[in-house]
Structure formats: structure tokens, C-alpha cells
Structure 1
Amino acid sequence: MLGKPVIGTKTMVVSPHYLASAAGARILEQGGNAYDAAVAVSACLAVVYPHMTGLGGDAFWLTYCTDEGQVRAYNGSGRSAYGVSRDSYEGESSIPKRGIRSAITVPGMVDSWDAILQQYGRLTLSEVLVPALEYALEGFPLSPDQWSNCHQAEASLIAEPLASAIYIPGGRIPHAGERFVQLQLATTLRKIREGGRDAFYKGEIAATISDYMFKSGGFLTREDFADHKGNWVEPISTDYQGYTVYQVPPNSQGFTALMSLNILENFNFKGIEHGSYEYFHLLVEALKLSFRDRDQVLTDPAFSHIPLGILLNKSYSAKLASTISFQEASKMTSEPVGRDTAYAAVVDEEGNAVSFIQSLYFEFGSGVVAGDTGILLQNRGSFFSLDPLAINTLEPHKRTFHTLMPAMACKNGKPAILYGTQGGEGQPQTQTMLLTRMLHYGMNPQQAVEEPRFVWGRTWGEPTNELKLESRVPEFIRRELAAAGHIVRTVGAYDGIVGHAHMIGIDANGFRQGGSDPRCDGAAIGW
């Protein structure tokens, strides 16, 4: 798109897959509102982007209702099984990253669909699931991203016969563009259309999943599913450049991005050129400081107090900012915290807005398909620690540290920017880049998304905390960053490792500007 956003006078839908965006637009055209369209997009992503998200995963939501005039948040993450504990992994140093024993948290996404529609929807769950059901039943062109991720996760998928039969049928990964049909998933979606959320958590679907878990050595039971309920929570926020920026509270890592903004507020961006050494270095260092605090406190707030009052205090952020050197990179480390996610957003004609994100944690989650449901189970719970002294230690019926974090920035009390991205550790990093590009450098959403990005931290299987920079960042700037002590690694020009970001901006005229990431298969659709 070369920096040109899609502009709508009334509506806008953005997502990482064009068919999901089209499904949201279809629901809006049929008289649905932003909430109806968002659930339709979410369900379609579970079908057409199965490596990134699915019915076996979680979702987090930020909503704005024009009638209420406020931003609300829904935590659609699941808790660990009642019957799982650190003793369940006696003799092991960590929870397995794949397989049946990594699937220890109840999927929360289907519940979140019901909650959003019950509170704000105009249509029924049965109605908004129609596009997803059609794509599962009739098939769709397999995306290049799914093809690539199938190759990356091939060993994990082959290890699970039910998953292999779906994603590597006949022992061959389908090519991009081939028709990909998911008949078992279509049957599951039909059951949800007929029986609602209870069909998933209290009916035949829950029974099939839990029975399969029992036979296969897993931990989730019918009781775990029946007791699941997500919850509406008060969003957290900070003020930045005349905007109020909202995030979902813990167990989401969203406060990390707010901390970073509070730190950056202490620097004069008028003297910092966009894309310069100073720009990249400053953002990385601010984010490192927020990660350091995050890793010490983030877990389920029902199990441990998280001092947000201190962490989001402007004076505290000023003290952190004073420790940043423009000449030298700080010596901090990180642990890998997931990678594959799907972010989307919708704004309707009335001004209702939904910013949401969903995930299986790793690509294809645990790799386990539960019985004949066609549902891949997430491996989100594998991030729990087996160290009893760790803040995120595994305990029964507990939510884990969660990377998912949709964002919304409001101006004069109304949504102005909806934004988010795929990627675990990369989510607060990319969000910070997107917002600073719009608020400090006057970029539109498409420009902000397309500009070269970085991601700092250690990804799975890599020994060092690298600063990965897209090759479009000039070589001399990469050299300057390396000279300052950053472990610089150059990646592709538009590399998926830096995430799949999407944005909706609402300008002073009320027009909706959509930005869709060229690093994925997404689309912005508005009119």
C-alpha cells in the first residue's frame, strides 16, 4: 500500500486475514454493529488462521460503547485445571512446551464471544458464526503464512496423529492457495451455533475434549470447562501526548506498554529524528525497563498483588527514565514469552469500537487436536513456572502471565486509535513504535505499520537477547546500535518476526483510516 491507508467515512475492519476482515464487513452490511462484526472476525480467524488462533485459545477485548461513553475490558483467558499442580511434573525442570501435558488451561475465547454479544451485540451468536462455518465447511485458499508455519511446526504436528491428519493430510503440507477444508471444526461450530457457549463448556464439546484428555494423560476435566467464566474488568490507562491510552489489566502484560509511554514522556521527541539511532535506542531501553518490572510481578492478580499504582506512577517512570544512557545499551535479559497471535479491530457507523486479540500461544498451540472436535488446544499454561518461589508459579485454577494486550487510545473521551500486533514479547514493543509514529511524527496508520520495526529479546531456541532489525533500517544505524552494545541481528525487509500489526485511526473529520500489515495476509476494509 506504500503508506496509503484505506479510508472509510463510516466503518472500518482490520485483521491479519482478508477473509476474516471480509466477514466482519459482511456482518456490518447485514445490520450488525461493531461487536457483532468483531465476534465474526474472531471466529473466522479461528478457521482461516488456525496456526495463530482457534477455539482452543484465549482472547482479550477492549470495547467502547457510544451509549455508555466509556472503555471496558473483557478478560477471556482460561485458568489451569483444578487437578494440575507442580507435583504433576515432579522430576521435570519445566512444563513441556508441546503435547497433551502442555494443554493445561481452559480455552476462554468462546466464552468471550458470548459475553461480548450478550452485553452489546445486535445479532445472535448463531448469526455471526455463519461466515466462519462456511469457511470451515467449504474451504478457503490456504494462506502463505499457514503454509510457512506448518513447515516450522511440522515435527510437532506429525507427533500428534489427529493434528497431522488435518494440517498435513496424507503426509503432505498443502501448498499456499490450495483449498483447505476443516469438516470436524465445522461440526463443532454447528454445535456452538445451536447450543451457544454452554455447548462448548457444559455440553458435548466439553465432554469430548475432557474425555480425550483423560485417555491421553491430560489434566483438563469436564468440571474445569463447566466452571470457566471470563470476566469484565476495569481497563488501566495512562495519559500520553493528550491521549488516554487504555490496556487490559493483569494477568495481561498491557501495563508494560503504559510504563514505556510514561518513561518516554520524559524525552523531547522534537529533537529525535524518526528511524534514527536515538529513536530506536530510546524505545528499546524504555521497553527493557518495563520488562524488568513486568517479569518480577506479572501473574494472576487473584494470587498475588501487582503494584500498578507504583508501576504506572509518573514520578516512578521519571526515575526510570533518568537511568537511560543514550551512549550505551543496558545489560538486561528476557525469557521468551510466546510468539503467535492474531489482532483485529472494528469501528462501526455509530462510533462503537472493539480492539481485540486472540492466540494459541505458540503456532498451532500445544499441537494437540482434542478428539474429533477439530480444535487445537492452546499451550498457554506451559509458561507457568515449576519453581515454587517464582511469581508465575503453577497452581490449580490459576491464570498465567499473559502476553495478549489489545490497545485503544482515546481523544476527548472518544476512540481515536485502535491498535495491536501479533507476537509475545514484541507486542508492547510494536505498540510503542506504532503510537509514537502517529503522535510524534504525524504518520497515518498504514505508514506507522509499514515503517521498519525491531523486536528485542530472546526468542525460543536462541541463546542471546538480540535486537532484531529489519534490513530497511539503514546499515549505519545498525552499526551505531551495535557499537552501543546492542546485539544486532538483521532480518528481512518485511519480516514476520517483528509481528503482524494493524491499526484503525479516527481523524478529526470522523473518517476511519485503516492500516494493515504487509507482513501478513491481512486487509483493511471500510466504507
Structure 2
Amino acid sequence: MKLCLPLSFLFTLLCSLPIAVRGADRPQGRLWATRSEVVAQNGIVATSEPLASQVGLEVLKRGGSAVDAAIAANAMQGLVSPYVNGMGGDLFAIVWDPKTEKLYGLNASGRSPLGLTREVFEANGITESIPTYGKYSVSVPGCVDGWFELHGQFGTLSMEEILNPVIEYARKGAPITQLSSNSWKNSVRVRGTWDNQPGFLDTFSIDGRGPEKGEIWKNEALANTLEKIAQGGRDVFYRGEIADTIDAYFQEIDGYLRKEDLVAHRSEWVEPVSTNYRGWDVWELPPNGQGIAALQMLNILEGYDIASMGFGSAEYIHALVEAKKLAFEDRAKYYADPEFSEIPLDWLISKEYAAERRALIDTERAAREYAPGVLQHGETIYLCAADKDGMMVSLIQSNFAGFGSGVCIPELGFGFQNRGASFTFEEGHANQYQPGKRPFHTIIPAFVTEDGKPLIAFGVMGGQMQPQGHTQIIVNLKDFGMNLQEAGDAPRVNHMGSTQPFGPDGKMTDGGEVLYESGIPPEVVRDLALKRHKMMQGIGYYFGGYQAIMRDPATGVYLGASESRSDGQAAGY
């Protein structure tokens, strides 16, 4: 029997294959390219929210620096995408300063409450792992202090000028984009998570639901908090009126964050670390973040002729996934707060160590497990901004898991992160829980220089996807010759199930699984399965959120790119 399908159905089916149609419709560029790069001479801001990009661009046009624009854009994202970031979270940044021609790194992550001891956990029956949501997972918010540290070093406008556009939006309202609405609504629907968190629905819902696409979202309480910070500085948050409000609320809910924890908080300026990948110096921040995992992966991959393998080939993806597994074993063992643990940083990112680890990879078979290296002695927004003077900023900020802990103070208009859930209770582990300690962090900004000059500020947000995303972007650009937008649009893979630095059952013993996007050809999926990889197709949010700005070293003109998997925008002038 013949199967007859109407032409209208066939046309609809064809249009549901966006990669093929996009490639056929565009006059040039890779098959998967969604749009061209943004080109601008005076500055670019690239974020995952168009209104945040526009607020940052407005600050640039008023004479603000790239840092000023980044702060404004970050604050705006806290209004329109609070399910991934906000003042209750942490911040990391890498800044290229054209005056000193040097990179600066800022670790603005908070520490665990001093009064939350192991004895407290045990007395409350918490012995396996720290609960993901609620008062036990809250650590000191580092974001606001991070803003002021960045501003004090590199700002030009006043904080009032920087935050006023966001304050106005918070009072008058901002329309919510499609994907933000979807994520927001889905998060609010998780009833079992938020019902026990007083203040959450009052802070982040409209009559118990998330905002619809295009619906106007207002947050008067957030506007008031931003206004106090703009006028009174960081001490209002960490020592003054806001700190008192936070202290009183956590005492009311029998929580553990106190004013003394806020008073003791400090951000840390750190030296970014790098590896050279085929002539490019790729820069990340050292632990307590996971950035050096990307450097470890690149060092391992440098030993292969990646370009000859071809983009999206089984050989390339196999090498990438195995390099990730190896790097994540070290991530699980060594990455932690350096104030509490000695981290063999130089050894981990050395070429010699990479060669040792590379030798463990079987080119024909996926490994079920690896051991971490043995020392031979004794969730999230990303944005970037660039200005007319050549300053470039790579900044990432997060609540950790969605809305974070779910603990909210309605009169302040923001919620608190649950980064404290990233500790382990394993005795003797580098990331073992201790009061006053910074937890293992997943959020990482990145930067590329060439011959000592700034080239690319970029990042790929999304938990454990971030080092994998950084690595894939660099390989796409350097080995496969893609442009800045193509490198982000290209289909990605995400290996899940590696050994983790927290949780009671974190050891990888089954090889994990490889999530892949629809742009990976079926024959490649088959070949990877024959190498014993567990293959599973995923969708957008599994593969991170990318933003990037590149500076043409010859002309100084900027190129911008933004993630096609979200509602992002790179905007310049």
C-alpha cells in the first residue's frame, strides 16, 4: 500500500528542520549559522536578554566604561531573568584594561555562614549532602561587592547613573521574552520546591504563576533595593540597612546567614591563569571555580590533529568527551577554595601532565571510568562588554540552581543563592564543608589573548557544560575556522555523568552519557555508539548559553555574537 502525504504536510515537515532550511536560505556561512556577527566600532554588549544588552549599550553611549555597561546589564538581568541570577548570587569577571595592557580577575564568591557548622547539620539529621533548596544551602551573596570592586577599579560613571535605567524598568515594568517566560513559568510550577520557602511566590510570581511572554513584569522592592545601593554604596548591603534586614529575616526563619557573615565578606582580585592552544592564550580564573577544566581539556586535545578530523566527526567528539572525563576527575578531587586547600594548579594545567592523561585515551572505546591524576610530589547568566577605549569585560553571575535556594525577602525583591549545596561532607576532601569557606563553583568567565593583545571575551553558561562549552568554542574558532557567531551556533555535545566534587554518589563508573544536538549526523551518533558511548539527543538548555566579543587586532573594530538557543542579543554602536 502506498503512503500518500499532502504537500502541505511535507512543506510543514521540511520547515521543521531549521538547520537545513537556515543553511539553504542564507547566502553565505555555515549550514547552522543563524545570523551574522554584529559589527561595531565604539562598543558592544552581548547578553542573554535583549533589554539587558540595550541597558548596557545605553550606559556605553553615556560615556560609561565596559565595566559600567556590564554592571548595568547584569543588574537588568536580575530583573528580567531572576530564575538564573540576581543580587543574591555570586559573580566572577575577567577584565582587559587597555591602560595597563593587562588582564585582571575578580572572584566575588561568598562564603558559608560562620554559624552553620557540621554539628548543626548533624543535629538536624543532614549527614549525606546539603539540601539543594532552603536555608541550609545559602552562602553569602558576593554579587553586589563584585559590582563595587569592578566599579572602583574600572568605572567612569557613578553607580546612580549605571543603575538608574534598571531602577526605572523595575518600577515601570519590563516585557518578558519568550524563552525567559517559559523557564520562569516552569520554575514557579515546581510546587514542592517553593511552597516551603516563605516569600518566594510573593517575590517572583504573579498570582502564583510566572509571567507570560510579553507580559509586563514590575519589581518595586528590587527598585528600592537598587536605589539604596546606588546611593549608599556596597556598605548599605553588607554593613547597613540591607544587612540588618537580611539578618532579621534569617533569624525569623531559623536560618544561619547573619550580619557578621556579610560584614566579613570580601571579594578577591586574582591572577587569571592560561594555557596556549595553537598560538592563542586562553585565560580562565583559578579555583574555587572550574575554569581550569577547560584548560586541561584543551591541553589534551592539542595533541590531536583536530582540524583533519573534521567538525562533528565521531573521532573529534570521542576525543573531546574522553578529555572531558579526564579533566573532570581532577575537577572532582582538587578544585576547591584555595584558602583551605593546596591546589596543584601549575601541574594540572601543564602540557606534560596533559600528555600523561592523553595516553590513557583509547581512540576506539569510551572509558567507563578514570582515576584522577596522582600528584608526583609530597545555573547562570554570562555577558560581555567592550568600549571605545579598548576595555573588554567577561562576566558571569548566578544563583546556582534556577531561583537558587528559594529563600526570598519580599521587601528586598531578590532571592538568595543555593551555592552552599556545592560542598561535600566527605572527610578530607578538598571541597569538604567548613564554615567561612567558599564552595566549589561552576560559573566561569573566559578570555583569549594573542601575542599579548586582547582578542576575545566569551563564555558559555550552564553548570558542568561550561568548561565543555569553552573548549568547543575555542576548537570551533581555531581548528575549524568558524567565525564568532558560527562557533556558537554550531551543534554541541554535553557529556553528563562525570565524577562530581559534591554529593554522596558522585563517582563515574559507567562512562556517563553524551547528549547531542540535532545537527550531529545520525551516522556520527551510530559510530560513537559503536565506541561504547551512551548517546542521547538533547535540546537547547542542555547545551549552555554563549555570548562573545572579538576585537580585530588590526582595526580595533568589534565583532559580537549571541546565543541562538536563547533570546540573547549582541548590540553595538
TM-score by length of structure 1 reads 0.95
Question: Equivalent residue of 2:133, what SS?
Answer: coil
1:115 CA drift (Å)? 0.5
Counterpart of 2:536 (choices 458, 471, 489) is: 489
String of CA shifts for 1:304-347, please: whole Å, max 9, x gaps: 1000121111111111112212211111389xxxxx21011011
* 2:118 counterpart residue number: 86
* 2:131 counterpart residue number: 96
1:3 CA drift (Å)? 4.3
Q: Which runs of 5+ in 2 are unaligned?
A: 1-32, 372-378
* 2:448 counterpart residue number: 409
* 2:163 counterpart residue number: 129
* 2:88 counterpart residue number: 56
Do residues 517 (structure 1) and 549 (structure 2) align? no
1:485 CA drift (Å)? 1.4
String of CA shifts for 1:457-489, please: whole Å, max 9, x gaps: 139999983211011211111111122111111
Do residues 71 (structure 1) and 103 (structure 2) align? yes
Question: Equivalent residue of 1:82, what SS?
Answer: coil
Contact 1:126–1:196, Cα closer than 8 Å, also in 2:
no
String of CA shifts for 1:260-310, please: whole Å, max 9, x gaps: 111111111232101111121111111111111111111100101000121
* 1:500 counterpart residue number: 545
Question: Equivalent residue of 1:398, what SS?
Answer: coil
- Find the aligned partners of 1:136 and 1:483 in 2 and give their Cα distance: 53
1:377 CA drift (Å)? 0.1
- Find the aligned partners of 1:179 and 1:128 in 2 and give their Cα distance: 22
* 1:170 counterpart residue number: 207
Question: Equivalent residue of 1:421, what SS?
Answer: strand
Moved over 6 A (4+): 459-464
String of CA shifts for 1:236-271, please: whole Å, max 9, x gaps: 111111111111111111111111111111111232
- Find the aligned partners of 1:165 and 1:378 in 2 and give their Cα distance: 17
- Find the aligned partners of 2:312 and 2:273 in 1 and give their Cα distance: 29
- Find the aligned partners of 1:333 and 1:200 in 2 and give their Cα distance: 45
1:389 CA drift (Å)? 2.7
Question: Equivalent residue of 1:387, what SS?
Answer: coil
* 2:19 counterpart residue number: none
1:214 CA drift (Å)? 1.0
String of CA shifts for 1:487-511, please: whole Å, max 9, x gaps: 111123xx11111111112224322
* 1:267 counterpart residue number: 304
Q: Which amino acid aligns with 2:416?
A: L
- Find the aligned partners of 1:240 and 1:72 in 2 and give their Cα distance: 20
Do residues 375 (structure 1) and 414 (structure 2) align? yes
Contact 1:99–1:366, Cα closer than 8 Å, also in 2:
yes
1:454 CA drift (Å)? 1.2
Question: Equivalent residue of 2:477, what SS?
Answer: helix
Q: Which amino acid aligns with 1:506?
A: R
Alignment of 1:186-205 (within 5 A): 186-205=223-242
Q: Which amino acid aligns with 2:229?
A: I
Contact 2:114–2:435, Cα closer than 8 Å, also in 1:
yes
* 1:420 counterpart residue number: 459
Contact 2:136–2:420, Cα closer than 8 Å, also in 1:
no
* 1:41 counterpart residue number: 73
- Find the aligned partners of 1:411 and 1:283 in 2 and give their Cα distance: 24
* 2:47 counterpart residue number: 15
Q: Which amino acid aligns with 2:394?
A: S
* Greater displacement, 71-80 / 389-398: 389-398
Do residues 388 (structure 1) and 427 (structure 2) align? yes
TM-score by length of structure 2 reads 0.88
Counterpart of 2:325 (choices 283, 288, 292) is: 288
Alignment of 1:197-346 (within 5 A): 197-332=234-369, 340-346=379-385
Question: Equivalent residue of 2:427, what SS?
Answer: coil
Aligned length: 519
String of CA shifts for 1:406-454, please: whole Å, max 9, x gaps: 0000012111111101111000001111111111111111100001011
- Find the aligned partners of 1:322 and 1:131 in 2 and give their Cα distance: 54
- Find the aligned partners of 1:293 and 1:3 in 2 and give their Cα distance: 38
- Find the aligned partners of 1:33 and 1:7 in 2 and give their Cα distance: 19
String of CA shifts for 1:79-103, please: whole Å, max 9, x gaps: 1111112222113211110112221
Q: Which amino acid aligns with 1:512?
A: Y
1:522 CA drift (Å)? 0.8
Compared with structure 1, are the counterparts of its residues 491 and 47 closer, same or farther at alpha carbon in structure 2 (3 Å cutoff)? same
- Find the aligned partners of 2:74 and 2:248 in 1 and give their Cα distance: 27
- Find the aligned partners of 1:341 and 1:76 in 2 and give their Cα distance: 14
1:400 CA drift (Å)? 0.6
* 1:337 counterpart residue number: none
Q: Which amino acid aligns with 1:125?
A: M
Question: Equivalent residue of 2:281, what SS?
Answer: strand
1:516 CA drift (Å)? 0.4
- Find the aligned partners of 1:32 and 1:223 in 2 and give their Cα distance: 34
- Find the aligned partners of 2:442 and 2:209 in 1 and give their Cα distance: 32
String of CA shifts for 1:49-81, please: whole Å, max 9, x gaps: 111100000000101111101101000000111
Contact 2:462–2:543, Cα closer than 8 Å, also in 1:
yes
* 1:108 counterpart residue number: 142
RMSD: 1.8
1:180 CA drift (Å)? 0.7
String of CA shifts for 1:125-146, please: whole Å, max 9, x gaps: 1211112212211111123333
1:158 CA drift (Å)? 3.6
- Find the aligned partners of 1:364 and 1:246 in 2 and give their Cα distance: 29
String of CA shifts for 1:104-140, please: whole Å, max 9, x gaps: x100010011001111111111211112212211111
Q: Which amino acid aligns with 1:266?
A: G
String of CA shifts for 1:214-244, please: whole Å, max 9, x gaps: 1102111010001111011111111111111
Question: Equivalent residue of 2:408, what SS?
Answer: coil
Q: Which runs of 5+ in 1 are unaligned?
A: 335-339
Q: Greater Rg, structure 1 or structure 2?
A: 2
- Find the aligned partners of 2:541 and 2:550 in 1 and give their Cα distance: 23
- Find the aligned partners of 1:365 and 1:246 in 2 and give their Cα distance: 28
Q: Which amino acid aligns with 1:476?
A: E
Contact 1:12–1:346, Cα closer than 8 Å, also in 2:
yes
* 2:174 counterpart residue number: 140
- Find the aligned partners of 1:329 and 1:131 in 2 and give their Cα distance: 51
Question: Equivalent residue of 1:55, what SS?
Answer: coil
